[in-house]
Amino acid sequence: MEPTILTDIKPGMVAYSEEVFGPVLCIYKVQDEKQAVELANDSKFGLGATVICKDEERAVNVARQIESGMVFINHITSSMPELIFEGTKNSGYGRELSEEGIKEFVNHKLIRITKPDAPY
């Protein structure tokens, strides 16, 4: 598959509402930050997002508004064993990787012993 750049994407187009896999870059033009967050959240998926911004405080504010399991700032969305990998909405189930993620794959059991002569 050749690398592809898609522009002028509108609601109703497959690329607007479906996850695109492969070397495909979808470019949207928005008027402001509010519209960018609305566009990012107008999806049934929510695995990962990237915010590119020189102002770190502003970028974190935008990241907090995006409905996604992971948001990377000034870095492409990626998977690393030390970071939790999880999605929201229709993107995945549970979490993987890191100390928190491994707990998704184990069963916990509580066993409590009370001595017969101990008060409750």
Quick: pLDDT tens for 77-98: 877 777 776 766 777 666 666 6
pLDDT surpassing 90 at residue 57:
yes
Quick: pLDDT tens for 11-51: 999 999 887 888 998 999 999 999 999 999 998 877 788 99
* Mean pLDDT of all residues in 98-104: 68
- Cα angle at 98 between 101 and 52, to 5 degrees? 105
Where does the pLDDT of residue 101 fall: very low under 50, low under 70, confident under 90, or very high at 90 and above?
low
- Cα angle at 53 between 46 and 25, to 5 degrees? 50
CA dist., res. 85 & res. 92, Å (int): 10
What are the residues whose beta carbons fall under 8 Å from the beta carbon of 19, sequence distance 6 or more? Answer: 45, 47, 91
Residues 16 and 44: beta-carbon distance below 8 Å: no
Q: What is the pLDDT of residue 97?
A: 62
* Mean pLDDT of all residues in 104-113: 77
What is the dihedral sign for C-alpha 90, 25, 81, 70?
Answer: negative
